[in-house]
Amino acid sequence: MQTPQTLNERIRHFYDRSTGIWLDTWGEHMHHGYYGPDGTTRKDHLQAQIDLITEFLKWGKVERAAQMLDAGCGVGGSARFLANALNANVLGLTLSPVQAEQAARFNQQAGLEGQVRVEVQDVLQLKPAQGPFDLIWSLESAEHIPEKQRLLQVFFDALRPGGVLLMATWCHRNTPPALRTGEQHTLQKIGKYYHLPPMISIGEYEQMAHAAGFTSIQTADWTDAIAPFWPAVIRSALRWRSIAGLLRSGGPTLRGAWAMQFMIQGYRSGALRFGLLQARKP
């Protein structure tokens, strides 16, 4: 295979190569877990990932959605959960064909193939005919997208009036004060290994949501609630079976594993934040 060149090619390559090992060690949810508001509740890590979905929904006060978009859906873990929880028809988008194929298998196993559809498509290329949606769910994927203002506009345009956007994403802390050199260094490492363009703060997402036309905008910082997650991922990566899997899946996955230390460093220093945004199309 040719060396991936563009950002989207690198993201696709990263998830095509690393999804198998993530499924082996963690399962269908490719996002942080929720360990209580201050991160001190001890629980099974899979349960913590499911709790993140339910707490996020509760925070967004969403109880039903006939049509929803899971923007950056991985193998559809949230999509299937929300299809059941909200009785929704879900369109999921990912850049990774490996994830889309796996999602189709999982959808069939769950008997949800008529309700959840996962396609390989850049979310920025969303067409009006694919919507409109009552809910757009974007869980840990917006950090991959370089044009954040355009992304918020695409989401706004794809929602039905009254529709809701729920976004959880990796951010840098609010500024001022300006990011220090050490903080910038850590964030650059995270960006390099996980194929992320420069991050922004949740305050900047909020301003962009206003500019896109959204109302009822609220933000939150759940960094404390998710803090135990990465130490748990590191412990799981150090199991022998996972090390063998890491070596088999090669370059991008190994670099991703190496970068876990920068996630922990980022959260400890306060430079990296887990930001939430909810917003409504009037």
Ligand X SMILES: C[S@@+](CC[C@H](N)C(=O)[O-])C[C@H]1O[C@@H](n2cnc3c(N)ncnc32)[C@H](O)[C@@H]1O
The binding site for ligand X (CB under 6 A) comprises: 11, 15, 29-31, 72-74, 77-78, 93-96, 99, 122-124, 139-141, 144-145
Minimum CB distance to ligand X, residue 213 (Å):
21
Closest by CA position to 193, among listed 125, 111, 265, 134: 265
Cβ atoms within 10 Å of 138's Cβ, excluding its own: 24
Q: Token digits for 189?
A: 């490492």
Minimum CB distance to ligand X, residue 11 (Å):
5
Minimum CB distance to ligand X, residue 59 (Å):
16
Distance CA 170, CA 173 (A): 10
Closer residue to ligand X in complex, CB, 101/122: 122
Distance CA 261, CA 252 (A): 16
Closer residue to ligand X in complex, CB, 140/183: 140
Closer residue to ligand X in complex, CB, 57/145: 145
Closer residue to ligand X in complex, CB, 145/209: 145
Minimum CB distance to ligand X, residue 146 (Å):
9
Distance CA 143, CA 200 (A): 8
Minimum CB distance to ligand X, residue 201 (Å):
20
Minimum CB distance to ligand X, residue 66 (Å):
21
For 214: left if phi > 0, alpha if psi spans -120 to 50, otherwise beta; the answer is beta
What count of Cα atoms within 13 Å lies in the side-chain half-sphere of residue 133?
27
Closer residue to ligand X in complex, CB, 182/197: 197
Closer residue to ligand X in complex, CB, 58/180: 58
Angle at 186 between CA 180 and CA 189, to 5 degrees: 140
Distance CA 269, CA 234 (A): 18
